[in-house]
Amino acid sequence: MTPKQAIKCCGPVDKLLDPKLFKSLCDPTRLKLLACLAKCGRACSVTEVAECCSVDFSVVSRHLATLEEASVLESAKKGRTVFYTVRYRQLAQTLHALADAIEACCPDDKSGARNGECCAKR
């Protein structure tokens, strides 16, 4: 298949390449905050998360909101304090599904035969 033909087919990879997810994961500070939350293993307030790196509270809050918008985190408000937790299961399922979809597009041998279906049948 040529690139022109491939762009016309719609497969699982197309649905799983979510720009919001990748935008949320492309910033080094957001990745550091996500790693901090993931390793902590519990809901943390914005103030607690801000202590992970030397970034202003308001900037941390914006970064966490971006991760929440991409469904990487979820938040819960208790009084005036917002707590964030990693959506471990959903994030893992999304990344596994994407890896499987990409693997389905991989040529299985030198002849170019695919080991799975990359494009949905029309």
> Does residue 122 have a pLDDT over 50?
no
Whether the model pTM is above 0.85 = no
> Does residue 119 have a pLDDT over 80?
no
pLDDT in tens, 24-45: 999 999 999 999 999 999 999 9
Q: Is 83 part of any domain?
A: yes
Report the run of H or E that residue 74 belongs to, with start and end: strand 73-78
Q: Is 98 part of any domain?
A: yes
Q: Is 3 part of any domain?
A: no
CB-facing half-sphere around the CA of 51: CA atoms within 13 A: 6
Q: Given this model, what pLDDT does residue 111 score?
A: 54
Q: Is 93 part of any domain?
A: yes
Pairing of strands 73-78, 44-45: unpaired
Q: Is 114 part of any domain?
A: no
CB–CB of 85/42 below 8 Å? yes
pLDDT in tens, 38-97: 999 999 999 999 988 778 888 999 999 999 999 999 999 999 999 999 999 999 999 999
45: CB partners within 8 A, 6+ apart: 81, 82, 83, 84
- Total structural domains within the chain: 1
Q: Is 62 part of any domain?
A: yes
List the CATH number of the domain containing 79.
1.10.10.10
- Say which residue, 100 or 117, is predicted with more confidence: 100
Q: What is the mean pLDDT of residues 13-21?
A: 88
Task: Note down the domain range covering 45.
Answer: 10-104
Distance, in Å, from the CA atom of 10 to the CA atom of 14, rounded to the nearest integer, reads 6
Distance, in Å, from the CA atom of 9 to the CA atom of 120, rounded to the nearest integer, reads 7
Report the run of H or E that residue 13 belongs to, with start and end: helix 12-16
